[in-house]
Chains A and B, each alone.
Chain A
Amino acid sequence: MRRPSGWWRSPKPLVFGVCLVPLALLVLDGFQGRLGANPVETITHATGLWGLRLLLLTLSITPLRRLCGWNRLIAYRRMLGLFAFFYASLHLSTYLVFDQFFDLRAIWDDVLERPYITLGFSAFVLLVPLAVTSTNGWIRRLGKRWVTLHKLIYPAAILVSAHFLWLVKADYRESGIYALILALLLGYRLLPVRTGKRRRSRTAQANGAMGRVSR
């Protein structure tokens, strides 16, 4: 089944590299003292935003395949999802280290008392099992239940979006745009699909997940 090599045939390493660019820029800016007056905030915002953006990209694969027939995009979905988790983890680590310095009591108080932290935390908790079960082994082991489990990305993305909306002081433009994009991506999934097509796309989805296993 191996395709001829060459990045234009299988640009996975390229996509991988591109996903690392935001982190690379952040590190570069850090070394050059260009993270602004409040570097911790800059890092928190950048990693949070990239986590959200990559989640939205992950969620746009299915609509793009259905609307444009770009079925091969499925090959990148797992990577995008894992990078979303990667940036979310960096985001959370920044908070744990620099905002709270591992003060477990303060962290727990925050999770319980600050709704925006509660929302972000819940989102992260939902993302963990998705990252863990993203391996070929888990996909095989879980079979159909894998697809069901990974529907958790929908509530997770909604929670992240709410997390963002909730922490804004007065200017809802940016967080509103992301919420709107998410609404469109999720709304698309509610549109009725002709049964024949749906069956086909279901199969494609399963094939996509399994397809990687066989490669």
Chain B
Amino acid sequence: MLFKSPPDIRPSEITDQAVYLDRRRFLCTAAVTGAAVLAAPQLASAAVSLGEIKPGPFSTDEQPNSYDDITSYNNFYELGTGKSDPKVNARYLKTDPWSVTIDGEVSKPGTYALEDLLAPHAIEERTYRLRCVEAWSMVIPWNGIPLGDVLKRFEPTSRAKYVAFTSILDPENLPGQRRSVLDWPYVEGLRIDEAMHPLTLLAVGLYGEIMPNQNGAPIRLVVPWKYGFKSAKSIVRITLTEDQPPTSWNLSSAREYGFYSNVNPEVNHPRWSQAKERRIGEFFKRPTLPFNGYGDQVASLYNGMDLKANF
């Protein structure tokens, strides 16, 4: 096989939820019988399941990429700039304990342990397309909660016009942060209506398992109609602001990466075309869709805006 064929086995099929939960009990017995020898390697490779997940809206019925592709081909510069670096360096991201601070223009600011932040919400499965600014794309079954539902709990004030996201800063452990490829920590931002849009997700897992470190564990943003870099990973702070917040790639090169960065086949990156993309798992490129195919849901957010000027 010269090229990898698209996936047909999902980890959730390999490791059925019920089987997973039963595994601890099973293992105790198995250890005694010596079957642990066979079970252990499988247990080691199985990620931690998220528990109950309800199907969410907006999921595409396109074939998702394999768990292996999604977790071995990543842009996560905190763990290295090569596509395979984040998986190799995944262990350097320390996610336990994790807390998220919510502050700025909200009536109820505070710092919350991840569990407490998530507790009131039901985790949904949302299979979204992801379009990277580098002209490749994937289909990923995310698990998460709508960002808007979370923000509402903290009661944004009338002055909250934007939402700023800050990712982890830990140069002691994160190899990528010991070099100033970007200004650390990574910062991103959305307009408040984009943040409140029901498509926008705070993801905590994929394929029913907790978020792998290389994909931005333990909690990351997913904004499927924007280039991938808008979806900040490993978020530690969410700040509601009156003014448009700075964003990392825009600070790095303002002519190449705008604040909006909506997927747009008609606005090319100054150095390469955005008209087509390579879906991971396919040979040839396919046309890129405006708003990554989510135009029906989000185009109205930008009515009257010149999307070429506001790229």
Report B127-157 CB contacts with A as 1/0, cut-off 8 Å. Answer: 0000000101000000000000000000000
Residue of chain A at shortest CB distance from B256: A169
User: With the chains together, A187 CA to B181 CA distance in Å?
Assistant: 28
Pick from B271, B272, B280: contact of A37, CB below 8 A: B280
- The answer to the question of A114 belonging to the interface, with a C-beta cut-off of 8 Å to chain B, is yes
Tell me the chain B residues, 224-278 only, with Cβ under 8 Å from chain A.
Answer: 252-253, 268, 271-273, 275, 278
- The answer to the question of A75 belonging to the interface, with a C-beta cut-off of 8 Å to chain B, is no
User: With the chains together, A106 CA to B284 CA distance in Å?
Assistant: 14
Chain B residues with CB under 8 Å of A109's CB are 273
Pick from A33, A116, A169: contact of B3, CB below 8 A: A33
Chain B residues with CB under 8 Å of A39's CB are 2-4
Q: What DSSP secondary structure best describes chain A's contact surface?
A: helix
- The answer to the question of B77 belonging to the interface, with a C-beta cut-off of 8 Å to chain A, is yes
Pick from A31, A36, A38, A40: contact of B1, CB below 8 A: A31
Given the known inter-chain contacts A101-B284, A115-B271, A116-B271, please indicate yes or no for A171 contacting B73, CB distance below 8 A: no
Pick from A32, A36, A115: contact of B84, CB below 8 A: A36
Contact present for B181 and A171 (CB under 8 Å):
yes
Contact present for A33 and B271 (CB under 8 Å):
no
- The answer to the question of A131 belonging to the interface, with a C-beta cut-off of 8 Å to chain B, is no
User: With the chains together, A114 CA to B270 CA distance in Å?
Assistant: 8
- The answer to the question of B89 belonging to the interface, with a C-beta cut-off of 8 Å to chain A, is no
Given the known inter-chain contacts A101-B284, A170-B81, please indicate yes or no for A33 contacting B1, CB distance below 8 A: yes
Contact present for A33 and B4 (CB under 8 Å):
yes
Looking at A30, A169, A170, A171, which has the most chain B CB atoms within 10 Å of its CB? Answer: A169
Chain B residues with CB under 8 Å of A106's CB are 273, 275
Looking at A37, A38, A98, A110, which has the most chain B CB atoms within 10 Å of its CB? Answer: A37
- The answer to the question of B283 belonging to the interface, with a C-beta cut-off of 8 Å to chain A, is yes
Tell me the chain A residues, 86-104 only, with Cβ under 8 Å from chain B.
Answer: 98-101
- The answer to the question of B299 belonging to the interface, with a C-beta cut-off of 8 Å to chain A, is no
Contact present for A170 and B73 (CB under 8 Å):
no
Residue of chain A at shortest CB distance from B229: A169
Query: What bracket does the count of chain B residues touching chain A fall in?
Result: 20 to 34
Chain A residues with CB under 8 Å of B280's CB are 37-38
- The answer to the question of A166 belonging to the interface, with a C-beta cut-off of 8 Å to chain B, is yes
Given the known inter-chain contacts A38-B73, A114-B272, A116-B271, please indicate yes or no for A31 contacting B283, CB distance below 8 A: no
- The answer to the question of A193 belonging to the interface, with a C-beta cut-off of 8 Å to chain B, is no
Tell me the chain A residues, 108-122 only, with Cβ under 8 Å from chain B.
Answer: 109-110, 113-116
Chain A residues with CB under 8 Å of B81's CB are 170-171
Chain B residues with CB under 8 Å of A101's CB are 284-285
- The answer to the question of B72 belonging to the interface, with a C-beta cut-off of 8 Å to chain A, is yes
Report A13-47 CB contacts with B as 1/0, cut-off 8 Å. Answer: 00000000000000000111101111111000000
Q: B129: shortest Cβ distance to chain A, in Å?
A: 15
Chain A residues with CB under 8 Å of B1's CB are 31-33
Q: B161: shortest Cβ distance to chain A, in Å?
A: 29
User: With the chains together, A99 CA to B136 CA distance in Å?
Assistant: 11
Chain B: residues with CB nearer than 8 A to chain A? 1-4, 65, 68-69, 72-73, 77, 81, 83-84, 134, 136, 181-182, 252-253, 268, 271-273, 275, 278, 280-281, 283-285
13 A-B contacts, Cβ less than 8 Å apart? Answer: A33-B4, A36-B73, A37-B68, A38-B73, A38-B280, A39-B4, A40-B283, A99-B278, A106-B275, A114-B272, A169-B134, A170-B81, A170-B252
Q: A37-B69, A38-B136, A40-B278 are in contact. List 16 more A-B contacts (CB 8 A).
A: A30-B3, A33-B3, A35-B4, A36-B73, A36-B83, A36-B84, A37-B73, A37-B83, A37-B281, A38-B280, A41-B83, A41-B278, A101-B285, A114-B271, A167-B272, A170-B253
